[in-house]
Amino acid sequence: MVTAPPGREDDLPAVLALLDLERVGGDDGAEPGGQTGAERFVGRHPERTTFSRTFGGQLLAQSLVAAGRTVDGGRDVHSAQTHFIRGGDLRRDLDFTVVHLRDGRGFANRRVDVTQDGALVCTMLAAFAGPADGLEHGRVPPEVPPPDDLPVFDEALRGFEDPLSAFAGALHPVDLRYAHDPPWVQRGTGEARTENHVWMRPAGEMPDDPLRHAALLAYASDMTVLDTILTGHGLSWGIDRVLAATLNHSLWFHRPARFDRWLLYASTSPVATRSRGTGTGTFFAPDGTTQATVVQEGIVRHFAPRGT
């Protein structure tokens, strides 16, 4: 039985509740370009949050659920590409419009537009496919300590609660175990790290619903993928003066999502330039198989300390 870290028992249920989108209507009429219609949903924000705008992982998860609820059974999500246009207002609900782009024999394609008062917050292109046989290969996962030997997130944060209050007070539906010093500890060592490895598992029991497994994995994929942009320079979130915002996020599911066990999230940053940085990540199952791949681009601006 999977149990939540102490004090985090309510975090996973709170996020799973956000995935229960309310269906508010649909349009079966044909649209330009062969689109077959649209369906509409409403999503909420959590009652407790420390962020100033909607967390990107929440938008990814809710958009994926909205898209998946319009696809016939037997097809799993295999890719989701999302562009973030503006920050979401935490005081208002989110409107999800799912456009049916195509329903073929093997694949289904959806576009999800997320709006508030008619203003576009983000848009996702999601694709779903049924099972098929083919060539198989994957990366070899890095060798890291097992998760049970590593401290839970709140223990790793001890002593840094004040500068990292936004992280300490946020919902943590995913149990995070850094396989090395987290960025805020590493910063004090003078070390620069170009790869980050974090074990992740839901902080509690998951329902038997493949779509929710995929959605929570999408949520988790936004949590640490940009870390190496900073750790490669010996910097840390919350301590150094850093402004960050996600521009786009691509996620590929190589196998049907099963997020009720530990997965190792290995990430690095191939490039940062012109106030933008790119992070890439891979999720590995305990047996070493590659589960999902992530590429995210974000605005990352570092400001020198005041007085220097």
From the candidates 11, 175, 222, 227, give the one annotated as an active-site residue: 222
Has 222 been annotated as catalytic?
yes
From the candidates 82, 224, 228, 246, give the one annotated as an active-site residue: 246
Has 35 been annotated as catalytic?
no
Q: Write the CB contacts of 87 (distance below 8 Å, at least 6 apart in sequence).
A: 52, 53, 54, 121, 245
Has 296 been annotated as catalytic?
yes
Angle (nearest 5°) at CA 193 between 173 and 79: 50
Residues with catalytic roles: 222, 246, 296
